[in-house]
Structure 1
Amino acid sequence: MNEIELRLWNQFAVLAEELHFGRAAQRLFMTQPPLTQAIAQLEKRLAVRLFDRTKRSVQLTATGRALLPEVLDLLARAQALPEHARAAAAGELGRLRLAFVSTVGFALLPQWVRGFRALYPKVQMELVEATGDVQLEAFARGEMDAGFMLHAPGFAPLGLARHVVSQEPLVLALPEQNPLAALPSLTLPAVLDQPLVIFPRRIVPSLYDAIFGVYHAAGRLPEVAQEAIQMQTIVNLVSAGLGCAWVPQSVTQFQRPGVVYRSVLAGKRGAALPGCETSLVWSAADASPALLRFVEFVQQA
């Protein structure tokens, strides 16, 4: 069946409301014979009868009554299209696929999502927790619009724009039974021999290399006891006594029984301890208006 013009559906809806060809034609700014022909054409193309006609009355058939709500919905949506187009161009309507690492979910992400949804309720947000390597793969496949990534200071993802949203030091998570946990603060030389629980290098290579660089600068090779992907899992493994872990300071909000967090001072001859950053990253080449609106919101926040 050929596509039916919106004009014919509008004529059907007006006649269904008036149930009088003369009055309907006046509302449509046309004469009665072309309206009669248009309705006949519509019925012929649908192969159904929409109106029962006599010399004195016009009534909807059962088929016409069943079709009318769908037609009215179609016309309402068509009428709203220009406003939708303007809203989409302004970034007030659309879809935003957003990935995030677990650390940003502890504090920053909830307030940003809440605030952005309050301002732009018609932007559909799809949130996915994903590590940095998974995010980069999703960007390459065009499956992600933006992401919050954890990385070492100065990291610049190839082909992506970024905006740093937080900077924080690394702290050491220790098992509660470790003798070092009794000290209020630690120095780097005192912790270099502790077994490590750490994320695989592929997850956050820049931060992994920065941490290992501290050990290499001190002439040490870190003893990796266990690898884990998520920060919560790393802290849980510390609680189990498998080793210590360098984690962003924001992770200290994750209070796990059996784990204590301590700041570590570099010491007189120790290499400077690296910090870490979280950035919002996105592909500037094909950014949608909704994405640009979110980037602007985060930058102002």
Structure 2
Amino acid sequence: MVTDIRQLRHFLAVAEDLHFGRAAERLGITQPPLSQSIQALEAELGVALFTRNRRMVALTPVGAAWLPHVRQVVSDAAALPVLARRIARGEVGTVRLGFVSTAIYSLLPDLVAKHKAGQPDVELHLFEQTSDIQIEGLLEGTVDVGLIIPPARALHPALRYRPLLREPLVAAVPTGWIDSGQLATAAGGVSATALAEKPLLLFPRRSAPAFHDLVTGYLATAQAGVPLGQEAVQMQTIISLVSAGLGFALVPQSLRNLARAGVSFLPLSPQPPSVELGIAWHTGTVTPAADGFIATALGEAGTR
């Protein structure tokens, strides 16, 4: 097995110059050690790389075929120190990014675009997941960074969390309810009591307990008793069910960007609560590339 990159550089120099003396001069060594190095390499490989006589040096067919591979290995080896420094600076690498579905319509697109513009050699692998799945992934090492709705309970001590965005809830209602007079609106908005007795579409509590409790707590405080119409774990699915007239949902106001036909997004009264979206990571396993993404996210949040 070839373990010394110097032997490969010696082979490359002789193969390019086809002269041991000139190759040795280029390498800054004397000819005898170069000849010994090539002989040791041939013995280690068990093949002849050069033919030699007093007048000339030539590559054997094996040596000629091997040359481009050696050239690539030597080139790659020369680039390794630079690559190591770029990895350490977070300029090269992979970030496995989990995100809740609501992030698609708020900060995720701009955040991904900004980081790709600043660090084009960092690969972002995106995974749409509920917050609980992301937290598990952070602890198990299958996710590097998560965009989550924070749970009511404290996170695991190994995880760190920073808020990025807060936005109020709005009511997503079937447009047909408004057109037919089934839902009373005022000044372009809707009161929580007007939604009483209408079916509520919502995340299962096991998947998004913080968001589930935020919605149900608000409706309970407003004394708007509503039956649960259907549960779904993806926000796009919930909005699709609203479009089909199966119920209403309380969603972050950025969901207006979804612009689904048959769905109207209305401000709520009384004053609705805000839902928080933030970034979480494992302090013990964060990579330089992930650390760079976190810095981008926190910088973006500071400009909002």
- Global fold match (TM > 0.5): yes
The residue aligned with 2:84 is 85
2:125 aligns to what? Answer: 126
The residue matched to 1:286 in structure 2 has which SS? coil
User: Could you tell me how far 1:243 is from its partner in structure 2?
Assistant: 0.6
Matches within 5 A, 1:1-301: 2-151=1-150, 157-159=155-157, 160-178=159-177, 179-180=182-183, 183=186, 184-218=188-222, 221-266=225-270, 273-301=272-300
Are the equivalent residues in 2 in contact too, given 1:99–1:129 (CA < 8 A)?
A: yes
User: What is the one-letter code of the residue matched to 2:75?
Assistant: A
What's the CA shift for 1:98? 0.8
Aligned counterpart, 1:269: none
- The change in CA–CA distance for 1:181 and 1:16 in structure 2 (over 3 A counts) is farther
Q: Give how far 1:58 is off.
A: 0.7
Measure the CA separation in 2 of the matches of 1:133 and 1:107: 20
Q: Aligned-pair distance for 1:81?
A: 1.3
Q: Secondary structure at the match of 2:83?
A: helix
- What amino acid does structure 1 have at the position aligned with 2:156? L
Aligned-residue sequence identity (percent) comes to 40
Say whether the 8 Å CA contact 1:156–1:162 is kept in structure 2: no
* 1:29-57 C-alpha deviation (Å, 9 max, x unpaired): 22222211211111111111111112211
Count of aligned pairs between the two proteins: 294
SS at 1:147's partner residue? strand
Q: How far, CA to CA, are the matches of 1:276 and 1:107 in structure 2?
A: 12
Equivalent pair of 2:100/2:131 in contact (CA under 8 Å)? yes
Matched letter for residue 157 of structure 1: L
Residue 290 of structure 1 aligns with an amino acid whose one-letter code is: A
Conserved in 2, the CA contact under 8 Å of 1:239 and 1:258?
yes
Stretches of structure 1 lacking an aligned partner (at least 5 in a row): 267-271
Amino acid in structure 2 at the alignment position of 1:263: P
- After superposition, what is the alpha-carbon deviation per residue over 1:222-241, rounded to whole angstroms, capped at 9, x for unaligned? 31110111111101001111
Residue type of the partner of 1:180?
A: L
2: distance between equivalents of 1:256 and 1:220? 26
Unaligned runs of 5+ in 2: none
Q: CA RMSD in A?
A: 1.9
* Letter of the structure 1 residue corresponding to residue 201 of structure 2: V
Structure 1 SS opposite 2:250: strand
1:87, CA displacement in angstroms? 1.4
Report the 3-state secondary structure (helix = DSSP H, G, I; strand = E; otherwise coil) of the residue aligned with 1:208: helix
